[in-house]
Amino acid sequence: MLSGQLVIPRTVLPAVTPEQLATWARTATLELPAPLATSLVDDMTAIARNVLHAALESAGGAGHCARSRADPPGRVNVRVFTEAPTRLCGFHVDTVPAGAPPVGALRVYNGPCTEYVEPSDVRDTESFYDYLARRERLSHHSPRGAAADSDEPAHPWILGEPADPLGPDPLVRRSELARERTHAALVVLDDMPSFLRTGAAVKTVPPDATVYFRHLDVRHMWSAYPVTRTWIHRSPMAGPTRLVVNIALAGRLPTRRSPA
Ligand SMILES: [Fe+2]
């Protein structure tokens, strides 16, 4: 298991080739047992290659390198980290730069898995963005919301335990109470996403699965489009530390040269 053995702070590898990702990953996994490190490096590199192959296929280049062993042209953006999930980020869609092929992949190597909703369970994009706007307003007003599910101790006056002999500063107390109210509102939004049809259930990605999914061209964010165009998903709200790898195409694919 990776838990407790691998620590990777939030890292962004912009515009790297699969081989460059592999080089970085070999260094990042030096603390792991060799077989596990090799397996992890190989898996992450394979995902990057698959993203490039998928992007080529979506751009009409399937005949060029259909699942060939050679590295496909192009580069990927990689976001990778080990962190415990928090309530900071709810349902969302991932985006790519304007005009980029909307191809990406998500892999969670251990711990609680990513949650998602079926497009047929979503009322429409307008409902989703209404939900997203309300949640973003709340989470931005709750800078410590991410800590609400952590091991951070509750404040003594809330628990009724002995507090500072001078008592909490009234201003601090008011802000803490506001934070509690904000957190409660976030819990309601997360437990009952308003953009879902009645009776719809939130689903969970199976363990050990890599999800290849369509990102959204950033130009279409906040606009009305068919709900089947993107993958609405979120991290779990709590749980142990996970290794998360998110890979997307970096910009446009290189233009192919005509044969001489
Ligand atoms: Fe995401």
- How far apart are the C-alpha atoms of 121 and 118, rounded to whole Å? 5
Of the given ranges (28-32, 59-63, 165-169), which has the lowest mean pLDDT?
165-169
**107 vs 101, which has greater pLDDT?**
107
Selection from 146, 128, 149, 127 nearest residue 138 by Cα: 146
CA of 181 from ligand 1 middle (Å) equals: 26
Give the mean model confidence (pLDDT) for residues 110-125.
94
pLDDT of residue 72: 76
CA of 89 from ligand 1 middle (Å) equals: 9
Quick one: pLDDT band at residue 180, thresholds 50, 70, 90? confident
* Contact residues for 106 (Cβ-Cβ < 8 A; gap 6+): 114, 205, 210, 211, 213, 233, 244, 245, 246, 247
Contact in structure between 242 and 82 (CB atoms under 8 Å): yes
Tell me, rounded to whole angstroms, the distance of Cα 13 from its chain centroid.
15
CA of 94 from ligand 1 middle (Å) equals: 5
Quick one: pLDDT band at residue 155, thresholds 50, 70, 90? very low
- Which helix (H) or strand (E) segment holds residue 99: the answer is none
Selection from 174, 195, 208, 184 nearest residue 123 by Cα: 195
pLDDT at position 143 over 60:
no
CA of 255 from ligand 1 middle (Å) equals: 28
Quick one: pLDDT band at residue 173, thresholds 50, 70, 90? low
CA of 116 from ligand 1 middle (Å) equals: 10
CA of 101 from ligand 1 middle (Å) equals: 16
pLDDT at position 157 over 80:
no
Triad 135, 211, 191: Cα angle to 5°: 30
Average pLDDT, the chain: 82
Write out the DSSP string of 157-170.
Answer: HHHT----TT---H
- How far apart are the C-alpha atoms of 60 and 180, rounded to whole Å? 51
Give the mean model confidence (pLDDT) for residues 221-249.
93
Selection from 24, 26, 16, 79 nearest residue 49 by Cα: 16
CA 190 → CA 138, 195, 240, distances in Å?
12, 11, 19
CA of 184 from ligand 1 middle (Å) equals: 23
CA of 162 from ligand 1 middle (Å) equals: 42
pLDDT of residue 257: 45
- How far apart are the C-alpha atoms of 91 and 135, rounded to whole Å? 9
CA of 220 from ligand 1 middle (Å) equals: 16
CA of 55 from ligand 1 middle (Å) equals: 18
CA of 103 from ligand 1 middle (Å) equals: 12
pLDDT of residue 4: 57
pLDDT of residue 245: 96
Percent of the chain residues past pLDDT 90, beyond the cut:
57
Give the mean model confidence (pLDDT) for residues 179-190.
89
Give the mean model confidence (pLDDT) for residues 79-101.
89
Of the given ranges (52-56, 75-79, 193-197, 256-260), which has the lowest mean pLDDT?
256-260
pLDDT at position 71 over 80:
no
Question: Is the CA virtual torsion 124, 125, 126, 130 positive or negative?
Answer: positive
Mapped onto helix, strand or coil, the DSSP state of residue 151 is: coil
Residue 138 half-sphere exposure toward CB, CA atoms < 13 A: 24
Q: At 148, which amino acid appears?
A: A
CA of 124 from ligand 1 middle (Å) equals: 19
CA of 13 from ligand 1 middle (Å) equals: 16
Selection from 240, 244, 246, 203 nearest residue 111 by Cα: 240
* pLDDT per position as a tens digit, 202-214: 999 999 999 999 9
CA of 104 from ligand 1 middle (Å) equals: 10
Quick one: pLDDT band at residue 92, thresholds 50, 70, 90? very high
Contact in structure between 43 and 107 (CB atoms under 8 Å): yes
CA of 96 from ligand 1 middle (Å) equals: 11
- How far apart are the C-alpha atoms of 205 and 41, rounded to whole Å? 22
pLDDT at position 177 over 90:
no
Neighbours of 65 (CB within 10 A): 17
CA of 167 from ligand 1 middle (Å) equals: 42
pLDDT of residue 149: 29
